[in-house]
Structure 1
Amino acid sequence: MADTNRTKPEIEFIEGPAPTELVITDLIEGDGPEAAPGATVDVHYVGVDFETGEEFDSSWSRGQSIQFPLQGLIKGWQDGIPGMKVGGRRRLVTPPALAYGPAGGGHRLSGRTLVFVIDLLGVK
């Protein structure tokens, strides 16, 4: 069962150059159902800029988790969430190619390497 007493994660600053590939790190191993590619997931997450450590988005700050189909999300999430189990917490270090594309791509986060910490609360 998902740990509902969990609190917003602190994202540690990562030393060294930004990765060019998706880096997946399980911070807490879940023991519930596993997310499959294309599943609808219920998650709590926080996202920070790799370079500055500045938070740009957080479901925690809104006070509620968010549910959405994986295929509607950035490629880093489509690739990084499947295999994760409910109750787990995973860090995804996501290069621009798997996030919002190269600099000048039109999104405010284009060209940025992003770090997400995601808590998987449920899958459908």
Structure 2
Amino acid sequence: MPATPSQQGVDDVSERTQQNRSAGQDQSPATKSGRRLAAQLAEKKAADRRRKRNAAISSLAAVAVAAVLIGVFVAIGGGDDKPKTQADATPSASAPAAPDEAGAPPAPQLPAGADPALGSKPTVEAGKGELKKLTVTPLIKGTGPAVQKGQTITTNYLGVFYKDGKEFDSSWSSGQPASFPIGVGQVIPGWDQGLVGVTVGSRVLLDIPSELAYGKDAAAKGAPEGPLRFVVDVLAAQ
């Protein structure tokens, strides 16, 4: 049976009251507090994610910097460990010297303990004044035994004219030292007299007057005339 108007009004009032109660419950303090707590938790989680991301980026940057520094140190230190080449090594005193002139043969092997200067061709200038007697001037003092009369000596030599210094003979041109008996008349008198007693490993300057060189018959023999000057390296004596 349909409700009467008065009853309908009562029902409408009752329904509105129920709706108002429901709306009031949604706005209760407990519901607001829960929402604030949820928002705070979400913000905390987002902050944690940002911190982790920043920490990861910082770690990667530190690793990259360390790698660059290590590379620089290795590059700098590598130069100190570089092995020396044969060209950096100091040559032995007994090793043959390189030629002084383009195309010239190297000097022969030197005696043990000899001055390395013996491996280079000497420079000889002209003499001064009139040469009247044999003069022996030590240029390098060798440490080997003294040459004795009758021994065969091995030498490098360079001969020039005493007056003008012009070269006329040299064992350096062929790159082969000369060997001959000494003190027994096999060479010019200036050599026989001037080289006996010289120690092996020595370099001496011999100023030889004409009479102790090739003498008056030098031109007829095709030998150099006049006083002569020699620089002689004594390499061995047997």
TM-score (norm 2): 0.49
Aligned to 2:142: 30
Q: 1:69 aligns with which of 181, 198, 215?
A: 181
Aligned pairs for 1:1-124 within 5 A:
1=112, 2-3=114-115, 6-17=119-130, 19-70=131-182, 71=184, 72-102=186-216, 106-109=220-223, 111-124=225-238
CA distance in 2, matches of 1:13, 1:47: 11
Question: How many residues matched?
Answer: 123
For the pair shown, the structure with the greater C-alpha radius of gyration is 2
Q: Could you say which structure has the higher strand fraction?
A: 1
State the one-letter code of the partner of 2:189.
K
| 1:13-67 deviation per Cα after TM superposition (whole angstroms, max 9, x unaligned) | 22222x1210110000111011012211000000000112110100011111011
- Return the offset for 1:110: 5.5
The alpha-carbon deviation at position 109 of structure 1 amounts to 3.5
Residue aligned with 2:220, SS: coil
Q: Which residue of 1 aligns with 2:49?
A: none
Q: Are the structure 2 counterparts of residues 104 and 36 from structure 1 closer, same or farther at C-alpha, using a change threshold of 3 Å?
A: closer
Q: Determine the C-alpha separation between the residues in 2 that align with 1:66 and 1:104.
A: 21
3-state secondary structure, aligned to 2:211? helix
Cα deviations across residues 89-110 of structure 1 (Å, max 9, x unaligned)?
0010001111101266623346
Give the TM-score normalised by the residue count of structure 1: 0.90
Given that 2:146 and 2:198 are in contact with CA atoms closer than 8 Å, whether structure 1 keeps it comes out as: yes
